[in-house]
Each structure stands twice: as structure tokens, then as C-alpha cells.
């Protein structure tokens, strides 16, 4: 019992996690990542990936259409700003709920199939949403221009209370303007809540049942479980996470465009989750942070910066290295991401978290073999290979 009904170990994990997130502006400074725009992205995509992992990591169902929920969350949030209030609370609530509703619909149809067919169905739905946003739904989505908040929008609640912002409208949390660090801290709070919920799901009988579905769904049916509603709930929960991430994008920048729903966005969250470690608690966030970090750092490198980096070399060597490295940075940073992804998938199929676990176990093994002789060590090794 005790701390939010977490075991001592999980409570510690939660405290460390919350501290790491809240202190990110300090400890990320040496990495050059401590500016609010990037920190917001870390939190938002971290949340997106945590939610995605509840579906993919626990049930094994690989959705290729989660960007649709991101998109609908964003659009709903902008409409909540436009019609109700610039306060971010209704925006987050409505955005999350509409994403949940869309997830019920998409999940109900897509979950009739498993494996690659499920992935294709979700992809088809997401692309449908994307194309609709550009065409038929233009009155709601404002098509290619993107949906933004205008000064003369109704904002019924704000006008009723008489709080109308000067200048271009910005999201607002009871007086705090959602820009810069306040916006990051709002996203960080959502991330911490999201992580807590995910932790509870992982540790619940519900979570165990989801993992069992991933392991052997047929057996689950013959064990007396109706697996469909379990899968649908996991799908909806993860859709709601994505929706919330979508609203946070709008909270930090009140603009929604359809490109957010494109399949590349769906693919990105898959990469994040796999890179960090599918089915692990922290992996998806790690993956999200890493990808967003690389995107920002490497894409900012250009030829001049490279020449600076290699300037200590003789000219001919400097030019040689710049030519080799050049395709991997700037516009071509995806090449770096692709290489990194391949290396991880080939050598660490369990993602970065598996890598850390291996390092940790190796050290533990060393310690135990020194203490109790080599017999224990071989036993530990056997167990380690079984776990992989």
C-alpha cells in the first residue's frame, strides 16, 4: 500500500521519474537540449509513446494509424479554444475524449483481424482521416492552411468571464500562459500522470491479461477470456494517450494541421517504442527523447558546422570526413536515425532498455560469481538467455 498504491520499488521508480522529468531543464543543459521547445516535444512524444506501448507492448498489436488520434486530439483542442475558452483544461479533456471515441470506432473494426492485417487496417483508417482532413472536412479542419485560433472567435466561456487576451491567442492555465517553461511544466505534469497510469496498468491483473493475450491469444480464449473487449480497451486507452499528446501540441502552439495525421507520424511512434524497448515501462519515453533529440541536433548541423568540427585535421582529411559525414546530418539526419535503428534492432531486439539490463546483469553476474563461485554464474547465464 502506501504511496499511491505502489509497491516500494515502483514508488521509488515513480519518484525518480518525476524528479528526472521536472529537473530536465537542469540536467539536459550539458546536452544542449534544455530549451523549452525541445523539452515540450520530449514530454509530448514521450506521452504518445507510453500510450502506444500500452497497445503494442502489452498486447502485441502493432497499430500503424495512431497519428489519426494525434490529429483528432489537436483539432478538438483548437475547436475547444475557439468555441469555449483559451483555458487548456477543457481542451485536454475534450481532445482526449474525442480521440477515445474515434479509437472505439477504428478499434472495433480493425481488431477483427490480427497481425499484419490489423496494421494495414489501422493504416488505412489513419490515411482516410488524413485525406478527409484535407478534402471533405475542410470546413472543420481548414484544409491545407491549418486550423488556428482567431481573435474574434466566440470563446464563450472566456467572454462570459470577461478574460480576453490581448494579441494573438495563447493557451492559458488559470493565468499561466502556455509558452516556454510553463508550457513545458504543464506537459511534464501530463507525462507524469500518464506514466503513473501506465505503471498501474502494467502492474494490474488487467495488464497481466493483456500480456497473456500477446503471448498466446488462442489459449486465452480457451482459458475463458473474451479477448476482444480487452483488446478494444487497450486500443482505446492508447488512442486516448495519443489524443492527449495531440492536444498538448496545440496547448504549446495553438495550430493544427493535417500533416500531423500522416503515416510518417504513425511510423515515428513505432520507431520510438522499438528503439527504447517494446513492452518496457521506460523504453518508449527513452526512444521518444532520443529521436526528438537527434532530430533537433543532427538536423541543425550543416557543412559549415562540420568543417568546424573537423578543423583540427589537415585540410584534405577534413574535406574527406566532411564529405562522408555530410549525408548523415542536416536534411539527411534520417540516415543517422535509420542506421541507429538498424543497429538496435539487429543487436538489441529488446531496445535500449534491454541494453541497459544486459549491462546491469553482467555486472551483477560478475559480483555474484566472485561471491559464490562459478556454479551460480552459469545458472544466472542460463536464466539470462531464457529471458531474452
Partner 1 sequence: MAERNIVLNIQDVNKTFGGLKALSHVNLQIEEGKTHAIIGPNGAGKSTLLNVCIGRLEPTSGSVTFNGEILTGKAPHEINQAGVVRVFQTPEIFPELSLLENVMIPALSKRDGAFRFNPFRRLADETDIRDEAESVLRDMGLLEQKDHHAGSMSRGDKRRLELCMGLVQHPRLLLLDEPTAGMSRADTNSTIDTLKRIKERGMTKVIIEHDMHVVFSLADKISVLAQGAIIAEGPPDEIRGNPKVQEAYLGGAHE
Of the pair 33, 231, the CB lying nearest partner 1 is at 231
Of the pair 151, 219, the CB lying nearest partner 1 is at 219
* CB atoms near residue 19 (< 10 Å): 12
Distance of closest approach, residue 237 Cβ to partner 1, in angstroms: 8
Nearest residue to 246 (alpha-carbon basis) of 105, 47, 108, 102:
47
Of the pair 218, 264, the CB lying nearest partner 1 is at 218
Nearest residue to 214 (alpha-carbon basis) of 226, 224, 197, 227:
227
Distance of closest approach, residue 233 Cβ to partner 1, in angstroms: 6
Contacts 24+ apart (CB under 8 A), 151-160: 153/81, 153/82, 153/83, 154/82, 154/83, 155/81, 155/82, 155/83, 155/84, 155/85, 155/86, 156/83, 156/84, 156/85, 157/84, 157/85, 157/87, 157/90, 158/84, 158/85, 158/86, 158/87
Distance of closest approach, residue 242 Cβ to partner 1, in angstroms: 18
Distance of closest approach, residue 315 Cβ to partner 1, in angstroms: 56
Distance of closest approach, residue 101 Cβ to partner 1, in angstroms: 17
Q: What angle do CA 195, 197, 198 make, to 5 degrees?
A: 65
Of the pair 113, 214, the CB lying nearest partner 1 is at 214
CA dist 238 and 100 (Å) reads: 8
Of the pair 30, 224, the CB lying nearest partner 1 is at 224
Provide the binding-site residues for partner 1, judged by CB under 8 A: 5, 7, 197, 200-201, 203-209, 211-212, 214-216, 218-227, 229-230, 233, 383, 386-387
Amino acid at each position: 500500500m502506501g504511496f499511491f498504491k505502489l509497491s516500494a520499488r515502483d514508488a521509488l521508480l515513480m519518484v525518480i521519474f518525476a524528479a528526472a522529468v521536472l529537473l530536465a531543464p537542469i540536467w539536459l543543459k550539458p546536452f544542449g537540449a534544455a530549451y523549452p521547445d525541445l523539452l515540450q516535444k520530449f514530454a509530448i512524444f514521450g506521452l504518445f509513446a507510453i500510450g502506444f506501448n500500452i497497445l503494442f507492448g502489452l498486447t502485441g498489436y502493432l497499430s500503424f494509424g495512431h497519428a489519426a488520434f494525434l490529429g483528432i486530439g489537436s483539432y478538438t483542442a483548437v475547436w475547444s479554444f475557439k468555441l469555449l475558452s483559451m483555458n487548456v483544461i477543457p481542451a485536454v479533456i475534450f481532445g482526449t475524449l474525442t480521440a477515445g471515441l474515434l479509437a472505439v470506432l477504428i478499434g472495433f473494426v480493425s481488431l477483427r483481424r490480427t497481425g499484419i492485417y490489423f496494421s494495414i487496417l489501422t493504416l488505412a483508417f489513419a490515411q482516410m482521416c488524413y485525406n478527409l482532413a484535407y478534402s471533405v472536412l475542410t470546413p472543420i479542419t481548414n484544409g491545407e492552411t491549418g486550423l488556428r485560433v482567431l481573435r474574434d472567435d466566440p470563446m464563450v466561456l472566456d467572454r462570459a468571464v470577461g478574460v480576453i487576451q490581448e494579441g494573438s491567442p495563447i493557451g492559458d492555465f488559470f493565468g499561466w500562459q502556455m509558452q516556454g517553461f510553463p508550457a513545458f511544466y504543464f506537459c511534464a505534469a501530463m507525462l507524469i500522470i500518464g506514466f503513473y497510469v501506465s505503471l498501474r496498468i502494467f502492474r494490474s491483473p488487467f495488464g497481466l491479461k493483456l500480456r497473456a493475450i500477446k503471448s498466446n491469444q488462442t489459449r486465452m480464449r480457451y482459458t475463458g477470456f473474451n479477448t476482444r473487449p480487452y483488446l478494444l480497451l487497450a486500443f482505446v486507452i492508447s488512442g486516448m494517450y495519443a489524443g492527449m499528446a495531440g492536444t498538448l501540441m496545440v496547448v504549446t502552439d495553438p495550430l493544427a494541421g493535417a500533416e500531423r495525421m500522416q503515416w510518417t507520424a504513425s511510423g515515428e511512434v513505432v520507431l520510438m517504442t522499438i528503439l527504447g524497448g517494446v513492452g518496457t515501462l521506460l523504453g518508449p519515453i527513452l526512444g521518444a527523447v532520443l529521436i526528438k533529440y537527434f532530430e533537433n541536433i543532427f538536423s541543425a548541423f550543416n557543412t559549415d558546422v562540420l568543417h568546424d568540427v573537423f578543423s583540427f585535421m589537415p585540410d584534405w582529411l577534413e574535406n574527406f570526413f566532411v564529405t562522408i559525414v555530410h549525408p548523415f546530418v542536416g536534411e539527411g539526419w534520417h540516415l543517422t536515425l535509420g542506421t541507429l535503428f538498424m543497429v538496435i534492432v539487429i543487436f538489441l531486439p529488446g531496445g535500449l532498455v534491454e541494453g541497459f539490463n544486459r549491462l546491469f546483469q553482467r555486472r551483477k553476474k560478475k559480483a555474484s560469481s566472485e561471491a559464490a563461485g562459478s556454479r551460480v554464474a552459469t545458472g544466472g547465464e542460463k536464466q539470462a538467455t531464457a529471458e531474452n
